[in-house]
């Protein structure tokens, strides 16, 4: 399969580049900036993109590709595309001149194209792009031509047609660069001559045979959360090894309304998993959470208890199936690359660590991560391909510690039940208004505050429910959703009328940062 590599110089945008490329049907992987010649040789890419990054090429100790990288790329005539920092690296390496720019340029800019061919084939004379940089290539390297300029940046894009090396001062990977997709298309198909063979349906067959080859006649256990990643892993394993996959689904007592029944129904009755095991540990979790109101303490208790319960069930299963050799996990590509590169994205790898289980030591299980190369939207596409219902694939993210971090203060079954009712109303109304897939998360929070109200002739003194609905693309930042008042009014009226325990609803209008999405 044709592969295009992205060399990561510490840019948050490296993932966006790889996704753009994959969206166009070409497989793409991110590798660290100092990747070796041997690694590149092994992958044998048809093209390489040098990402942006926060550094300046002339500073000391900045990330630079290894000399053997440049030699190999030149020897094999591998097409290159440099973006922002990548542009400066190409300028510097091929002996042009890179200088600090007086003012940092940030935001939209209009470039005037000097060439409307190769990388800029079928583009307009003027294009809107996104700039974010402090440095500039001031003098072209030998053999290069200017491809585009702006008023303040004469070399906004350059290229060496013969060598198939191009670079842009701007970020073609972000949506603000209006025809960025077309530029990538030109690079991939015009310059790298890549074939668009990356499709999820092609990937499935290979993934299944790889699982079969790895697992052989052994058995696999998987912790099922009811979320999209672990569900997709379950379906993939079922296709690969049939009844030799054991699903363990733990009811930790802090799941949403109807969730336990729903997950059991899906996996037992609809998808017919023979070895689906629901462990009802609600009492144990709630007992341990009794009197605990510190958020981190709640998280710790839930995390440890989960591992304990999961381990006990796994060891129990091992008595009947001594050849359970593997533990499958729903790790996806960004989790893996973020923890490996250590640049940015720390919070998402932390989030994930809550889902990924520690190994039960006694069992010496080997890890199986079939989604390790996929992005979230690809996992969703795969889920659809494998026949998972939309209701499961499109579910909002739900934190590992569940409603415990939305039930502020003491956690009791009674308070959780009240919260579950209110939460279900929020979801129902958001779905009803056709907004469920438009927002990132929508939920209710039980506040430890009482307020006065009137119901008929009676004065009430009840709890306050906060409603939190946010828009986000990756949970790192989020804005509160500016919903139609009528939708919010319906949510509020229904919660107050239908849920015994709340007589007031407030809407959270804070953004992240400085707030967080969850309350705890």
**Could you say whether residue 345 binds ligand XMP (CB under 6 A)?**
no
Where in 161-220 is the site for ligand XMP (CB under 6 A)? none
Rank residues 143 and 397 by Cβ distance to ligand XMP and give the closer one: 397
**Could you say whether residue 223 binds ligand XMP (CB under 6 A)?**
no
**Could you say whether residue 448 binds ligand XMP (CB under 6 A)?**
no
Buried b or exposed e, range 327-337, using 16+ CB within 10 angstroms: bbbbbbbbbbb
* Pairwise CA distance, residues 167 & 119, whole Å: 10
Q: Which stretch binds ligand XMP (CB under 6 A): 6-14, 235-243, 306-314, 398-406?
A: 398-406
Print the binding letters for residues 453-492 with ligand XMP: x by CB under 6 A, - otherwise. ----------------------x-----------------
DSSP state of 268: I
Rank residues 350 and 431 by Cβ distance to ligand XMP and give the closer one: 350
Cβ atoms of residues 219 and 246 within 8 Å: yes
**Could you say whether residue 518 binds ligand XMP (CB under 6 A)?**
yes
Angle at CA of residue 352, ends 350 and 355, nearest 5° = 125
Helix ranges restricted to H, 321-464: 333-341, 346-355, 376-385, 390-393, 413-432
> Tokens at residue 424, please?
């279900």
**Could you say whether residue 299 binds ligand XMP (CB under 6 A)?**
yes
Catalytic residue among 127, 173, 185, 462: 173
* Pairwise CA distance, residues 240 & 223, whole Å: 17
State the nearest-atom distance from the C-beta of 253 to ligand XMP, in Å: 16
Helix ranges restricted to H, 276-375: 282-289, 295-320, 333-341, 346-355
**Could you say whether residue 402 binds ligand XMP (CB under 6 A)?**
no
- In the numeric block, the tokens 């959360």 are attached to 225
What SS3 state is found at 507? strand
Burial environment of residue 272 by CB neighbours within 10 A (0 to 12, 13 to 18, 19 or more):
exposed
Catalytic residue among 84, 153, 192, 465: 84
**Could you say whether residue 376 binds ligand XMP (CB under 6 A)?**
no
Respond yes or no: is residue 173 known to be catalytic. yes
Q: Which stretch binds ligand XMP (CB under 6 A): 74-82, 172-180, 212-220, 510-518?
A: 510-518
Number of residues that bind ligand XMP (CB under 6 A): 14
Per the omega criterion (within 30 degrees of 0), is the bond before 384 cis? no
Catalytic residue among 87, 88, 171, 246: 171
State the nearest-atom distance from the C-beta of 265 to ligand XMP, in Å: 23
DSSP state of 358: P
State the nearest-atom distance from the C-beta of 229 to ligand XMP, in Å: 11
Where in 117-146 is the site for ligand XMP (CB under 6 A)? none
Rank residues 3 and 353 by Cβ distance to ligand XMP and give the closer one: 353
Which listed residue (143, 342, 391, 397) binds ligand XMP by CB under 6 A? 397
Q: Which stretch binds ligand XMP (CB under 6 A): 70-78, 254-262, 333-341, 397-405?
A: 397-405
DSSP state of 359: P
For residues 231, 237, 243, 244, the Cα torsion angle rounded to the nearest 10 degrees is -120
Residues annotated as catalytic are 84, 171, 173
Residues engaged in binding ligand XMP (CB under 6 A):
299, 351, 354-355, 397, 399-401, 441, 475, 512, 516-518
């Amino acid at each position: 399969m044709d592969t295009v590599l992205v060399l990561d110089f510490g840019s948050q945008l490296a993932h966006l580049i790889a996704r753009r490329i994959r969206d166009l049907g070409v497989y793409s992987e991110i590798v660290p900036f100092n990747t070796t010649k041997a690694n590149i040789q092994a992958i044998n890419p048809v093209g390489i993109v040098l990402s942006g990054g926060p550094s300046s090429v002339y500073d000391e100790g900045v990330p630079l590709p290894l000399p053997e990288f440049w030699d190999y790329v030149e020897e094999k005539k591998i097409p290159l595309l440099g973006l922002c920092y990548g542009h400066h690296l190409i300028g510097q390496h091929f002996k042009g001149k890179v200088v600090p720019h007086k003012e940092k340029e940030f935001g939209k800019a209009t470039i005037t194209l000097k060439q409307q061919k190769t990388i800029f084939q079928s583009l307009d004379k003027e294009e809107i792009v996104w700039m974010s940089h402090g440095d500039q290539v001031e003098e072209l390297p030998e053999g290069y031509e200017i491809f585009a300029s702006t008023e303040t940046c004469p070399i906004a894009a350059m290229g060496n047609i013969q060598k198939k090396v191009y670079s842009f001062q701007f970020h073609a990977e972000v949506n603000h660069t209006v025809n960025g997709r077309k530029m990538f298309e030109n690079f991939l198909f015009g310059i790298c001559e890549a074939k668009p063979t990356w499709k999820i349906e092609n990937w499935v067959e290979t993934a299944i045979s790889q699982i079969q080859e790895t697992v052989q006649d052994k058995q696999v256990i998987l912790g099922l959360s009811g979320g999209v990643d672990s569900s997709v892993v379950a379906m993939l394993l079922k296709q690969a090894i049939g009844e030799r996959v054991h699903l363990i689904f733990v009811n930790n007592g802090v799941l949403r309304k109807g969730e336990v029944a729903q997950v059991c129904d899906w996996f037992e009755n609809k998808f017919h998993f023979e070895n689906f095991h629901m462990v009802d540990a609600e009492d144990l979790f709630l007992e341990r959470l009794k009197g605990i109101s510190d958020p981190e303490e709640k998280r710790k208790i839930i995390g440890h208890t989960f591992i304990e319960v999961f381990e006990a069930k796994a060891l129990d299963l091992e008595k009947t199936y001594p050849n359970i050799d593997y533990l499958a996990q729903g790790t996806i590509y960004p989790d893996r690359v973020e923890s490996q590169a250590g640049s940015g994205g720390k919070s998402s790898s932390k989030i994930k660590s809550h889902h990924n289980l520690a190994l039960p030591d006694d069992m010496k299980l080997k890890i199986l991560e079939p989604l390790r190369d996929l992005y979230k939207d690809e996992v969703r596409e795969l889920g659809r391909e494998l026949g998972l219902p939309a209701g499961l694939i499109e579910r909002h993210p739900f934190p590992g510690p569940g409603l415990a971090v939305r039930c502020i203060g003491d956690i009791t079954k009674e308070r959780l039940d009240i919260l579950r009712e209110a939460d279900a109303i929020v979801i129902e109304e958001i779905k009803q208004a056709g907004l469920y897939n438009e927002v990132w998360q929508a939920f209710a929070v039980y506040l430890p505050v009482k307020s006065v109200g009137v119901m008929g002739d009676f004065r009430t003194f009840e709890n306050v429910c906060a409603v939190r609905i946010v828009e986000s693309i990756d949970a790192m930042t989020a804005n509160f959703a500016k919903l139609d008042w009528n939708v919010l009014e319906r949510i509020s009226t229904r919660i107050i009328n239908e849920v015994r325990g709340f007589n007031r609803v407030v809407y959270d209008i804070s953004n992240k940062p400085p707030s967080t999405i969850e309350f705890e």
